[in-house]
């Protein structure tokens, strides 16, 4: 990938991938959780937007990295709503946590987020995604067939006359040198004949009884899968990956290093 030369003395430009935590899946005919918001300077970015601009970095300045947690899935009894995922950030670049799936036991709509949560049993209102980060969730189909959560690459699928909606796919990003899918939405849970699969990029599968909704992929920002009457899946944690074309002077948070690529699976800091 191209590393830009800086006209500013002592400064460099860094490519990055920032993915927030995915939203939790709903229950009692629950919608799939939306994927965490995704912003990237290479390959693809979220929400169908144009690639982000590499970040101008001044040498010797410490930059904070935050990796967002996934939102917990819904609990059927005692009733508890699913949670949105948490934001991730690299310096000034921030992404929004994924929206929780709609929850039938509280008539709670799919929630807005980086990508939106899918519709549960009612009301038939899907969460919306954030511009340039992700897409909205899918709608409810005939007979309590819930919608899938939105992904970074496409809207969540709506339930139909037979099955719950699948989660929207994430996008492939090759900042590490390999094309990897990130930020897929969770599948919807409810009535149907087969489990609704989560979107590519760590989306948890929706479930029929007696299986709980699948959890989102760790450090992929996938949404949790919805469930029929068991617990919804927990959203996957996010990730921050940085490549400035040179090694850092120091880091905290124990990122992994491959060449000049730093992968943060937990919060920390980096100084070039």
pLDDT, tens digit, for every residue of 161-214? 899 999 999 999 999 999 999 999 999 999 888 899 999 999 999 999 899 999
pLDDT of residue 1: 54
What end-to-end distance do the CA atoms of the chain give, in Å? 19
pLDDT range class, residue 5, cuts 50, 70, 90: very low
Average pLDDT, the chain: 94
Q: Which of 8-17, 81-90, 189-198, 212-221 has the lowest mean pLDDT?
A: 8-17
pLDDT surpassing 80 at residue 138: yes
pLDDT of residue 86: 98
pLDDT of residue 192: 85
Residue with tokens 């670049």: 93
> Has this prediction a pTM greater than 0.75?
yes
Residue 46: partners with Cβ closer than 8 Å, 6 or more residues away: 37, 38, 39, 40, 95, 114, 115, 129, 132, 133, 134, 152, 153, 171, 183
pLDDT 10s digits, 94-112: 999 999 999 987 789 999 9
pLDDT of residue 106: 78
Q: Rounded to the nearest 10 degrees, how much is the dihedral formed by the CA atoms of 115, 117, 119, 124?
A: -70
Other Cβ atoms less than 10 A from the Cβ of 211: the count is 16
Distance CA 35, CA 101 (A): 10
pLDDT range class, residue 78, cuts 50, 70, 90: confident
Residue with tokens 């920032």: 18
pLDDT 10s digits, 243-253: 999 999 999 99
Residue 235 half-sphere exposure toward CB, CA atoms < 13 A: 50
pLDDT range class, residue 8, cuts 50, 70, 90: low
pLDDT surpassing 90 at residue 39: yes
CA distances from 132 to 11, 136, 205, 214 (A): 27, 12, 25, 26
CA distances from 185 to 50, 214, 257, 267 (A): 21, 11, 28, 23
pLDDT surpassing 90 at residue 149: yes
pLDDT surpassing 60 at residue 4: no
User: Which class for 266: exposed (0-12), middle (13-18), buried (19 or more C-beta within 10 A)?
Assistant: middle
pLDDT surpassing 50 at residue 6: no
pLDDT range class, residue 9, cuts 50, 70, 90: low
CB 236 within 8 A of CB 70: yes
């Amino acid at each position: 990938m191209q590393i830009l030369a800086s006209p500013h003395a002592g400064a460099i430009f860094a490519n990055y991938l920032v993915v927030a935590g995915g939203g939790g899946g709903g229950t009692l005919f629950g919608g799939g959780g939306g994927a965490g918001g995704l912003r990237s300077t290479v390959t693809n970015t979220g929400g169908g937007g144009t690639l982000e601009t590499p970040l101008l970095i001044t040498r010797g300045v410490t930059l904070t990295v935050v990796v967002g947690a996934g939102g917990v899935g819904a609990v059927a009894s005692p009733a508890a709503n699913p949670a949105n995922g948490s934001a991730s950030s690299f310096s000034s670049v921030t992404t929004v946590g994924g929206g929780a799936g709609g929850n039938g036991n509280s008539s709670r709509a799919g929630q807005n987020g980086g990508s939106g949560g899918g519709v549960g049993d009612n009301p038939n209102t899907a969460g919306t995604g954030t511009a340039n980060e992700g897409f909205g969730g899918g709608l409810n189909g005939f007979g309590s067939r819930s919608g899938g959560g939105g992904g970074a690459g496409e809207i969540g699928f709506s339930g139909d006359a037979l099955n719950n909606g699948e989660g929207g796919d994430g996008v492939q990003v090759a900042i590490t040198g390999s094309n990897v899918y990130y930020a897929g939405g969770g599948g919807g849970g409810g009535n149907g004949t087969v489990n609704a699969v989560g979107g590519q990029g760590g989306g948890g599968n929706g479930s029929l009884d007696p299986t709980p909704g699948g959890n989102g992929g760790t450090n992929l920002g996938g949404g949790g899968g919805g469930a029929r009457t068991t617990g919804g899946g927990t959203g996957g944690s996010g990730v921050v990956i940085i490549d400035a074309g040179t090694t850092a002077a120091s880091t905290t948070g124990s990122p992994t290093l491959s060449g000049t690529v730093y992968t943060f699976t937990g919060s920390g800091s980096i100084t070039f």
